[in-house]
Amino acid sequence: MEEERRALREEVAEFAKYGRKFEKAIDTVMAGGVKECRFLPSGRKVFSVVGTLGDEFIDPEKPYCSCSNFFFRVAGGREELCYHLLSHRIAVITGRVAVVEFRDDEYGEYFSATIKDVFEILEKSG
């Protein structure tokens, strides 16, 4: 396990500049915490990353994350990104994104559950 972690860290060493966030992102990626939910046949995608308090919804193209760190520090201009977005970048580069497929008719239910989770996480984080 430690050898695999070391190899992953070396593969994405350019992100080591993020320090503690980098280490947390490596742990998240190794645990399979970066998810891409694909809805078929439309091909719609929803991304999430397992965080300390639960799943965080992300949009890597914007970039956006539902976590409080993103809201207070990244959107506020004090930090470049949160560890959830960093985890996604690392998982994409290393091919470690967990893909889960759903039918299009499951999208509404999935999204409702995701939004509920986001609000529960926000409550926990204060």
Return the DSSP state at 97: P
Asked whether residue 125 carries a pLDDT value surpassing 80, the answer given is: no
**pLDDT (average), residues 83-100:** 98
Assign 114 a pLDDT band (cuts: 50, 70, 90).
Answer: confident
* For residues 5-16, average pLDDT: 96
Bridge partners (DSSP) listed for residue 37: 46, 100
CA 110 to chain centre: 17
pLDDT at residue 118 tops 80: no
- Per-residue confidence at 126, pLDDT binned at 50, 70, 90? low
103 and 39 in contact (C-beta within 8 Å)?
Answer: yes
Tokens of 17: 């500049």
Question: pLDDT-derived band of residue 39, with 50, 70 and 90 as boundaries?
Answer: very high
Give me the domain span that covers residue 68: 2-125
Task: Provide, rounded to the nearest whole percent, the portion of the chain with pLDDT above 90.
Answer: 75
Q: Are strands 44-50 and 55-59 parallel, antiparallel or unpaired?
A: antiparallel
Residue 10 in this model has a pLDDT that exceeds 80: yes
Count of domains in the chain? 1
Cβ atoms of 58 and 48 within 8 Å: the answer is yes
Residue 46: helix, strand or coil by DSSP? strand
